[in-house]
């Protein structure tokens, strides 16, 4: 059997900090919300890079660029510099349209009367102008063009893929059934890549988790939402199936909680459970590298994966996984 390709992806973004909902009291938080320092140690970006490097694995960091409208590009460059100086990691394009509201100097007033829209989907042909703006910012920040795009909130439609194709961005990872179900049935993929309007769409891995009542919940493969035994069992399933690459999604915020403090200057506290989970995953992928090949997204060529194939199966977590998670949640609330 062939090794299964695995992509560890990190959405690298600043904290909008509820500022659009509470414009009088709150303001966005820049690089400190990625670094997440407590006691001189990073429990965010630094932790992720250290863990990947300790296992010799590359990560793909989707860097959010529209936050530059609020902070300026130098603040975004700080995280790009740290990622690029840490090793052979990949920096690609991520964008949340909601950050564009800060283009208005009077945003604290005007935002109160605006119907906010943070979705890439449903924008029709105007998706291309939005994408061109994002690509220009990415080029100003990194000095090169993006090869891969991840939409904010994993909202995507055919117009976004058409825009990517027109802008010369050949790969996207903007589908994730556990977070959002695309309106188009053609884009509803658990794992399998699809060619959409000339763009290779490689979804964030989704799976189902049976619940206590005979139903199921669709989830994305994340550090915060997927226990280590389920991650491992999913990887083993993917290897046995030999059907599609595995794409994990995580964020710096998953590795530390915000402690109560001033609303615009939170303090951070390590989330040791999630940190351990990510360390176990990386150690496993290092040990099992003859079966799992961790790659950078920019290494993908658009013809790398067969993409016209109907998706017949998906991974289902063991029934006990959902039950133990429900009990764990109840226990922590108690
Ligand atoms: Zn995001």
Find the 96 Cα to ligand 1 centroid distance in Å.
6
What's the average model confidence in pLDDT over 325-333?
Answer: 64
User: What is each CA distance from 230 to 223, 235, 315, in whole angstroms?
Assistant: 11, 8, 10
- pLDDT tens for each residue of 253-264: 999 999 877 878
Residue 307 has pLDDT above 90, yes or no: no
Distance 60 CA to ligand 1 centre (A): 14
Q: Could you tell me the distance, in angstroms and rounded to a whole number, from the CA of residue 215 to the centre of ligand 1? A: 29
Instruction: State the residue range of the domain holding 190.
Output: 4-333
CA angle 11, 177, 161 (to 5 degrees): 70
The pTM of the full predicted model, rounded to 2 decimals, is 0.95
Distance of CA 222 from the midpoint of ligand 1 (Å): 13
Task: Give distance in angstroms: CA of 152 to centre of ligand 1.
Answer: 5
Q: Specify which residues 265 forms β-bridges with.
A: 262
Q: How far is the CA of 17 from the centre of ligand 1 (A)?
A: 13
Using a 10 angstrom Cβ sphere, with 0-12 exposed, 13-18 middle and 19 or more buried, the burial of residue 274 is buried
pLDDT digit string (tens) for 39-50?
999 999 999 999
In this predicted model, what pLDDT tens digit does every residue of 119-162 receive, in sequence order?
Answer: 999 999 999 999 999 999 999 999 999 999 999 999 999 999 99
53, exposed or middle or buried, with CB in 10 Å at 0-12, 13-18, 19+? middle
Provide the number of structural domains found in the chain: 1
Instruction: Give percent of the chain with pLDDT exceeding 90.
Output: 87
Cα–ligand 1 centroid distance for 11 (angstroms): 6
Distance 201 CA to ligand 1 centre (A): 17
Q: How many Å apart are CA 270 and CA 200, to the nearest integer?
A: 36
Render pLDDT for 237-246 as a digit per residue (tens, 0 to 9): 999 999 889 9
**What is the distance in A from the centroid of ligand 1 to the CA of 64?**
7
User: From start to end of 271-314, where are the E strands?
Assistant: 292-294
Gap from CA of 100 to ligand 1 centroid (Å): 14
28 closest CA partner among 85, 107, 88: 107
Where do the H-state alpha helices sit in 8-157?
Answer: 32-35, 45-55, 68-71, 73-86, 107-110, 126-142
Residue 102 belongs to domain with CATH number:
3.20.20.370
Arithmetic mean of pLDDT, 276-285: 98
Residues 22-26 have a mean pLDDT of 95
| Residues paired with residue 206 on neighbouring β-strands, in sequence order | 220
C-alpha of residue 255 to centroid of ligand 1, in Å: 16
- Report the distance separating Cα 178 and Cα 116, nearest Å: 23
Query: How many angstroms is it from 15 CA to the middle of ligand 1?
Result: 10
């Amino acid at each position: 059997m062939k090794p299964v390709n695995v992509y560890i992806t990190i959405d690298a973004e600043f904290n909008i900090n509820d500022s659009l909902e509470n414009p009088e009291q709150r303001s966005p938080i820049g690089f400190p919300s990625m670094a997440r320092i407590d006691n001189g140690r990073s429990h965010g970006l630094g932790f992720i890079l250290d863990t990947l490097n300790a296992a010799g694995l590359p990560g793909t960091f989707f860097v959010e660029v529209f936050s530059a409208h609020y902070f300026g590009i130098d603040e975004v460059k700080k995280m790009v510099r740290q990622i690029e100086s840490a090793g052979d990691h990949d920096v690609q394009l991520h964008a949340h349209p909601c950050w564009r509201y800060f283009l208005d100097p009077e945003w604290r007033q005007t935002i109160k009367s605006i119907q906010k829209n943070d979705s890439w989907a449903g924008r029709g042909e105007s998706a291309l102008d939005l994408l061109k703006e994002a690509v220009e910012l990415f080029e100003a920040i990194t000095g090169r063009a993006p090869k891969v795009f991840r939409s904010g909130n994993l909202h995507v439609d055919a117009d976004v893929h058409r825009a990517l194709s027109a802008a010369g961005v050949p790969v996207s990872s903007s589908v994730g059934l556990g977070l959002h179900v695309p309106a188009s049935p053609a884009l509803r993929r658990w794992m399998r890549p699809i060619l959409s309007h000339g763009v290779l769409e490689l979804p964030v891995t989704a799976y189902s988790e049976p619940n206590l009542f005979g139903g199921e919940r669709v989830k994305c493969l994340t550090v915060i939402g997927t226990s280590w035994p389920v991650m491992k069992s999913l990887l083993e399933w993917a290897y046995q199936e030999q059907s599609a690459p595995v794409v994990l999604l995580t964020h710096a915020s998953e590795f530390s909680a915000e402690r109560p403090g001033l609303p615009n200057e939170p303090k951070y506290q390590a989330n040791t459970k999630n940190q351990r989970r990510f360390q176990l995953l990386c150690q496993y992928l290092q040990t099992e590298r003859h079966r799992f090949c961790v790659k950078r997204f920019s290494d993908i060529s658009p013809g790398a994966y067969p993409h016209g194939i109907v998706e017949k199966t998906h991974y289902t977590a063991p029934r006990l996984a959902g039950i133990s998670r429900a009990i764990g949640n109840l226990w922590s609330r108690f």
